[in-house]
Amino acid sequence: MAAAAGGRWETVIGLETHVQLRTASKMFCGCSAAFGASPNTNVCPVCMGLPGALPVPNEQALKHAVRAALALGCAVHPRSIFARKNYFYPDLPKGYQISQFELPLATNGSLSYLSPDRGIATATIVRLHVEEDAGKSLHDRFPRETAIDLNRCGVPLIEIVTGPDFRSPQEARAYLQTLKQVLEYAGVSDCDMEKGSLRVDANVSVRRPGASALGTKTEVKNINSFAYVEKALTVERDRQIAVLEGGGVVEQQTLLYDAKTNAVRPQRAKEESHDYRYFPDPDLPPLVLSEPFIAEQQAQLPELPAKKRERFVAQYALSVNDATVLTADRAVADYYEAVVHAAADFKAAANWVMTEVLGDAKDHQGQLRVPPESLAHLIALVQGGTLSHQAAKRVFTEVAERGGEPRTVAEALGLTQVADRGMVAGWVSEVLGAYTTEVTRYKDGERKLLQFFVGQVMKRSGGKADPKLTQRVLEEKLAP
Amino acid sequence: MSDSSEALASAKAAADRIVKTKRLNACITPLKELRKSLDQQARAAHPSGVLYGMPVAVKDNICTLEFTTSCGSRILEGYRSPYDATAIAKLKAAGALIAGKTNCDEFAMGSSTEHSAYGRAVHPFEKTRVPGGSSGGSAALVAAGAVPAALGSETGGSVRQPASFCGVVGIKPTYGRVSRYGLVAFGSSLDQIGVLGRSVHDAARVLSVISGRDPKDSTCEDRDSLRLPTVPESLQGFVIGVLKEYFPPDLDPAVRRACERAIRLLKELGAAVRDVSLPHTPYAVATYYIIAPAEASSNLARFDGARYGPRFDGALDVRTLYKKTRGEGFGPEVRRRILVGTYVLSSGYYDAYYRKAQQMRALIAQDFRNAFDRGVDLLFTPTTPTSAFKAGEKVGDPIAMYLSDIFTVTANLAGLPAMSIPIGRIKGLPIGGQFIGQAFLEDEMIEAAYALERVVPAAEEA
């Protein structure tokens, strides 16, 4: 149905993304911000909201927030205001969340990403502000009771709000992946959706193509993984289209996505957002950021993925696809460059990193186990004819598992190739003697048998014969 | 071990004196617990501290490791703070003894110390009257001679007004002079811990100890602690402004007489006295009663029975728990202010009330700056429009109660230091005169108060 309706309706999506900043301590107190501690152990009077306690901003969090804003091309305001967002909930111990409202940290940014539908597209970043996280209510821990864990309470977050810029769930997902990549690059967050360090709420509406006004939107919450982003948004988009095609109207409301049933349901009335009564937090003076402070954060920003990709294409003569794969992760990009700087061939290094290195990393929690210098040596051994490509892969695995110098490892494994003409000629003679029929057929014009003879020589040599040399000797001996 | 006999003697004497003030209902700490704690504190006190052995009573809305901190409210009945307020830690480091918690209006909301879960505090000289509020317990204890000084807190005159009513000295420092860490918040942008003292010197030396920077309070100025001035020979060179709007035609004639006598004495001391006008004064009380409740409505949201304090239970769900706990735990005045504050912050009303009030607050602060820019060093006014009123007289009339803060709220709105010192009696009841100083120039204000204190016949009818 969605496909059929697709032409008659345009989807409009805007995203609000909460990102946990990578800091040792919380936003307004000295408690650890680490994930996974036993409940209510990383707490103090400030983050528990005890009477009389007061917040003090975490400078590291502010640095990260400013870096994130700059990485997204935002204007960082020299003066912004912390505000209180008031609502009652048991895991919100002060009865308000410290956030920003009227004057946020940054506004007016943009992020380019690769849309599956439209090629390079740009999302506007309307605002980026700093806030603290709430605690966690555990409804399934004790029967008929709710437990509260305040460890997460006060953990520093930024909220990044886009314009209504996405035209499909796929685009929304592509933007999110690019956002994650940029923030990881900037070193401000680990953006782990499973640990809750990246959370997404989406505003969804549909309208007739060409219409300038937006349709009535709904807000979809509780999207807990990248895979669900697309699913949840598709479900809601299709629901709205079905309502409209059935002659109904879309009701503005907040919906929760349920991954198990792949459906959205309205938030219970009690959970419905109300009047938050935002006002400037009198406990926190206006956040004033000096010119040098902002400049310092700009200087601390690394080269971002888009820039790096362009440079890789230009500097290493890589295809856009290869450069995209190699720059997807900052650590991988740095690794690739280290291999290249240790004097490896650009293209060969790229192939090795994209296949063997990433393959190994995938099986080992993302670790890049073979030092870049070792990989550079290994590539040189292949190109010098000392190792076959097949043998080099075995050496790679061995170095990854047990370490060591590639040449030493290759020798210990007996994998170095024989490039001695006399020895190779001996194996060739043996093979040609054993397959006289094939030799005759070859001489009668069945040239493709050459690869058969190469294979037999390799077999006889235990894989050690240099394949190029073998081919050359074979061609000489079979020449009429 | 140092010899702690001096502090022990002081502790015992303080406990004995506090026992004798029981009728005032000013100290809410059980006397047995108080005596035991004072004894322990005296043994541990730092003999080298500048306040060694000095008993200082503390308003019940300031967090102390000793005793409960209940803000005079049922909702914090039995609550013990796991930490000391910064002001308390500084007092202890100076060798002072925390001499119990004092009665106050619930969450410091009130001007009579009648709105307390512990019952009303009583005026030290006339039991039918109120000691003022909200720091009425602290003022009454000092006035009764039980302690030389006590901590109070101010949001809109809650130290100066009871000081005036009880005939003691009350200082509210500049906003940001004393850390608010550990002061249970009422109106955070207005709140300051203040000191009530038997004399200018007692109040000032305690203020000096508790003042100064605190990395735990972002609104506390990064400054050294207040340097105490010496008692001046004269006030030659001081320009003191007399605020026109604080002497309205319908001012109690006795209050006017007392102030005029004080002004005469200031002139005799060598000060130049000038009339000054602050045109936005008439809007101060209205402005205050928007901003303070707005902040209070948010500050008091944390008292929901979920984590600490008693639960008014039987609740089946969390909403009912909130409603019952907050409905029964807060008294009527607190509930009234939460309602007002919630209303003025609500969407659709924010611009009409809260934003307007903030604009007016800026104008009021500008009035003061203008006066000081024209060469005035200090301002002088009555502290209160009347002497202590009768218990029950204003509880049913919130507006009348609010108007007893009419001369004090401006200093809170402008963040300026201000103090009240006794300047005479009206039918036996004390009345105070108020100095308002320039930001962070408490020393000048205290100098003038020192000089006036030496010559003013505070015990005489005006």
Average pLDDT, chain B: 96
Same domain, A161 and A308: no
pLDDT band at A255 (very low <50, low <70, confident <90, very high): very high
Catalytic residue among B4, B10, B37, B59: B59
Residues 6+ apart with CB under 8 A from A157: A18, A19, A20, A21, A27, A130, A131, A132, A133
B314 pLDDT tier (thresholds 50, 70, 90): low
Q: For residue A309, is it within any domain?
A: yes
* A108/A168 same-domain check: yes
Chain B's closest residue to A92, CA to CA, is B302
Residues β-bridged to residue B149: B56, B197
**Boundary (domain end) residue, out of A353, A376, A394:** A394
CA of A15, closest CA in chain B: separation in Å?
24
Active site residue B323: no
For every residue of A178-196, DSSP letters joined together read HHHHHHHHHTS----TTTT
| Range B396-403 average pLDDT | 86
User: Residue B316: which pLDDT band, with cuts at 50, 70 and 90?
Assistant: confident
Positive or negative, the CA dihedral A201, A206, A207, A210 is positive
A64 and A81 fall within a common domain: yes
Task: State which residues form the domain around B200.
Answer: 1-219+232-462
Query: Domain check: are A184 and A149 in the same one?
Result: yes
Q: Which segments of A367-476 are extended strands (E)?
A: none
pLDDT tens digits along A20-61: 999 999 999 999 999 889 999 999 999 999 999 999 999 999
Question: For residue range A327-351, what is the model confidence (pLDDT) as tens digits?
Answer: 999 999 999 999 999 877 899 999 9
Catalytic residue among B10, B153, B158, B297: B158
Is A401 inside any structural domain?
A: no
A426-437 tens-digit pLDDT: 999 999 999 999
The pLDDT tens digits for A151-184 are 999 999 999 999 999 999 999 999 999 999 999 9
Of A329-333, B71-75, B413-417, where does mean pLDDT reach its minimum?
A329-333
Q: What distance in Å separates residue B243's CA from the closest CA in chain A?
A: 29
Selected residue with higher pLDDT from A444 and B138: B138
Residue A414 within a domain: no
Cβ of B301 within 8 Å of Cβ of A86? The answer is: yes
Task: Kindly state whether residues A102 and A225 are assigned to the same domain.
Answer: yes
Is B224 inside any structural domain?
no
Is A442 part of any domain? Answer: yes
Asked if the structure places residue B297 within a domain, the reply is yes
**Cβ–Cβ contacts within 10 Å for residue A116, how many?**
11
Strand partners, B418: B172, B436
What pLDDT is recorded for position B185? 98
Evaluate whether residue B226 is within a structural domain.
no
Give B136 or A383, the one with higher predicted confidence.
B136
More confident residue, B319 or B71: B71
pLDDT over 70 percentage in chain B: 99
Q: Is residue A127 part of a domain?
A: yes
Is position A403 within any domain? no
Question: What DSSP assignment string belongs to A351-381?
Answer: HHIIIIIHHHHHHTTT---S-HHHHHHHHHH
The answer to whether residue A411 sits within a structural domain is: no
* Closest residue on chain A to B107 (Cα): A51
Structural domain span for residue A359: 303-394
- A184 and A332 co-located in one domain: no
What is the Cα–Cα distance from A245 to A247, expressed in whole angstroms?
5
Q: Say if residue A23 is in the same domain as residue A49.
A: yes
> What average pLDDT is seen over chain A?
92
Q: What percent of chain A has pLDDT over 90?
A: 75
B300 neighbourhood in chain A, CB within 8 Å:
95
Query: What are A402's two structure tokens?
Result: 């047990």
| d(CA A187, nearest CA chain B) in Å | 27
Alpha helices in A246-304 (DSSP H): 291-300
Which residues, at least 6 apart from A131, have a Cβ–Cβ distance to it below 8 Å?
Answer: A27, A85, A97, A98, A99, A100, A157, A158, A159
**Calpha distance A9→A1 (Å, rounded):** 12
Q: What is the pLDDT of residues A265-309, one digit of tens each?
A: 998 755 555 799 999 999 999 999 999 999 999 999 999 999 999
Chain centroid to Cα B397, Å, comes to 22
CA B240 to chain centre: 24
B298: tokens are 């948010």
How far apart are the C-alpha atoms of B208 and B91, rounded to whole Å?
Answer: 10
Known catalytic residue: B134? yes
Residue whose token pair is 């919450």: A221
> Is pLDDT above 80 for B327?
yes
Mean pLDDT of B270-299: 97
Interface residue ranges in chain A relative to chain B, Cβ cutoff 8 Å = 45, 48-57, 84, 86, 88, 90, 93-96, 146, 148, 270, 275, 277-279, 282-285
Please classify residue A59 by burial: count the beta carbons closer than 10 Å to its beta carbon, then call 0-12 exposed, 13-18 middle and 19+ buried. Answer: exposed
- A329: its two tokens: 């992760």
Rounded mean pLDDT, B102-115? 98
Q: How many domains does chain B have?
A: 1
If asked whether residues A20 and A167 sit together in one domain, one would say: yes
Residue A278 has what pLDDT?
A: 97
> At B252, which CATH number?
3.90.1300.10
Do A319 and A389 sit in the same domain of this protein?
A: yes
Residues A308 and A250 in one domain: no
What CATH code is carried by the domain that includes residue A441? Answer: 1.10.10.410
- Contact between residue A463 and residue A447 where contact means Cβ atoms under 8 Å apart: no
Inter-chain contacts counted by CB atoms under 8 A, chains A and B: 101
Q: How far apart are CA A370 and CA A398, in angstroms?
A: 9
ipTM: 0.96
Are the C-beta atoms of A107 and A118 separated by less than 8 Å?
A: no
Q: In total, how many domains does chain A have?
A: 3
> pLDDT digit string (tens) for A181-239?
999 999 999 998 888 899 999 999 999 998 999 999 999 998 988 889 999 999 999 99
Q: Do B298 and A86 touch (CB under 8 A)?
A: yes
Q: Could you give the dihedral angle defined by the CA atoms of residues B249, B255, B256 and B259, in that order, rounded to the nearest 10 degrees?
A: -140
Question: Are A466 and A360 found together in one domain?
Answer: no
Same-domain status, A158 and A199 = yes
pLDDT digits over B420-450, tens only?
Answer: 999 999 999 999 999 999 999 999 999 999 9
pLDDT per residue as tens digits for the range B167-223: 999 999 999 999 999 999 999 999 999 999 999 999 999 999 999 999 999 999 999
Last residue of a domain, one of A263, A296, A329: A296
Active site residue B59: yes
Please say if the pLDDT value at position A2 is more than 60.
no
pTM given for the model: 0.90
